[in-house]
Amino acid sequence: MDGSLESIRASTREFAEKELRRVAKLVDERNAVPEEVLRQVAEMGYFSLRVPEEYGGPGLSVLESTVVIEELSRVSSAIGIMATVSGSMVPYPIVKYGTPEQKEKYLGILAKGGIGAFALSEPCCGSDAASITTRATLEGDEIVIEGTKTYITNAPYADFFLVAVRTGREEDRHKGVSLVILDRSPCMKISKLEMMGYRGSGTSELKLEGCRTSKENLIGELNAGFKKIMMTLNEGRVTTAATGLGIMQAAFEEAFEYAKQRTSMGVPIIEHQMVQHLLAEMNMLLETSRLIVYEAARRLDAGDPDIARFSSIAKLFTASRGVDLVRMAMQVMGGIGYSKDSLVERLYRDIKMIEIGDGTNEIQRMVIVKSLRGKIRGD
């Protein structure tokens, strides 16, 4: 791997070990990231990874961002997924489709240490994104938004939100969906949810009651938001898969060290062929997932028109094999792995999210086949 990626990996690992290791358990237990840690992460530029240098951001490529997110998630997947959303999914549509004013203002907020959130899912519809019902109505120079979003990462910490809204008729499905930027305001009722994993990342329900934003905050044309949202998800699926790589790496390390130290029947358990089999399998799943995620990231950087398929393959593979890997890590560790005192217990809860968030495994399979049939292309 090239030298600059390895130096990005080393500096992120150093930060994560120094600043995140001591709080990661607490973040999970309290379902919140301390203010001071948020500030440190923001100062490192991890919440603005993909913001170009001309707007004051780190200007990382998708591949470089993937390595950063992987390393953050190796220690705290909550911080890793926060960086995925704020540093990759939020900048993407602003950089690609935003007006100069939107770029100046909102990429500037991220570059200065602000946090962004992406609001798509609703209580009615997660997989079926074209059915969203949050309504946005034009009133003079303003857009008024009414509706409820749910499972929104970063919501309690966010300075602004990218919100998928219905501006056309429901029967027009994806052709009546727009994407708007909404500043944090008292019109929002944010209720934090008690999720099983990635705890602390702020996953919340977001009620929007007569929220107003300027017409200038529409990203692209009215009713032309769906494709932009899907293109954003293509990058988000890869950077979410990167959080899975971090979790897989952590679980592998934990089980490997344990297997060298724990003895049974007079030898360290790593001497038992059955344990070697599990460790070899885990290492293979980790390295193959990494190759696939990096390949998808490279294709995103190169603007591959077949990117939807590769993003979905990367996330589907990492999610399903990640769940397998962490289950094996717990198996190697036995009762200790199953205990609340072990890291693997948290990793086991965390890894499951990737089979659901940013599109379930079933949706990824659908996207792969739609792509193969020529129904999905990048723009």
Is residue 238 a contact partner of residue 169, using CB atoms and an 8 Å limit? no
CA distance 257 to 264: 15
| Least Cβ distance, residue 359 to ligand COS (angstroms) | 3
- Cα–Cα nearest to 63, from 51, 50, 73: 50
Segment 275-294, which members bind ligand COS (CB under 6 A)? none
Nearer to ligand COS, 32 or 179 (CB): 179
158 binds ligand COS (CB under 6 A): no
234 binds ligand COS (CB under 6 A): yes
Q: State the Cα angle at 343 between 339 and 344, rounded to 5°.
A: 75
Segment 69-108, which members bind ligand COS (CB under 6 A)? none
- How many beta carbons lie within 10 A of that of residue 26, not counting itself? 14
Q: State the Cα angle at 86 between 285 and 152, rounded to 5°.
A: 85
308 binds ligand COS (CB under 6 A): yes
230 binds ligand COS (CB under 6 A): yes
Is residue 325 a contact partner of residue 290, using CB atoms and an 8 Å limit? no
Which phi-psi region, left, alpha or beta, contains residue 202 (left: φ > 0; alpha: ψ -120 to 50)?
Answer: left
| Least Cβ distance, residue 202 to ligand COS (angstroms) | 14
| Residue of minimal Cβ distance to ligand COS | 359
Query: Strand ranges (DSSP E) for the chain?
Result: 116-119, 135-139, 142-152, 160-166, 177-183, 188-192, 204-214, 263-264, 267-268
- Each residue 113-132 as x (binds ligand COS by CB under 6 A) or -, in order, gives -----x-xx----xxxxx--
359 binds ligand COS (CB under 6 A): yes
Tell me if residue 373 falls in helix, strand or coil.
coil
231 binds ligand COS (CB under 6 A): yes
- Each residue 186-225 as x (binds ligand COS by CB under 6 A) or -, in order, gives ----------------------------------------
Nearer to ligand COS, 144 or 356 (CB): 356
Residues that bind ligand COS (CB under 6 A): 118, 120-121, 126-130, 174, 226-227, 230-231, 233-234, 308, 357-359, 363, 366-367, 370, 375-376, 378
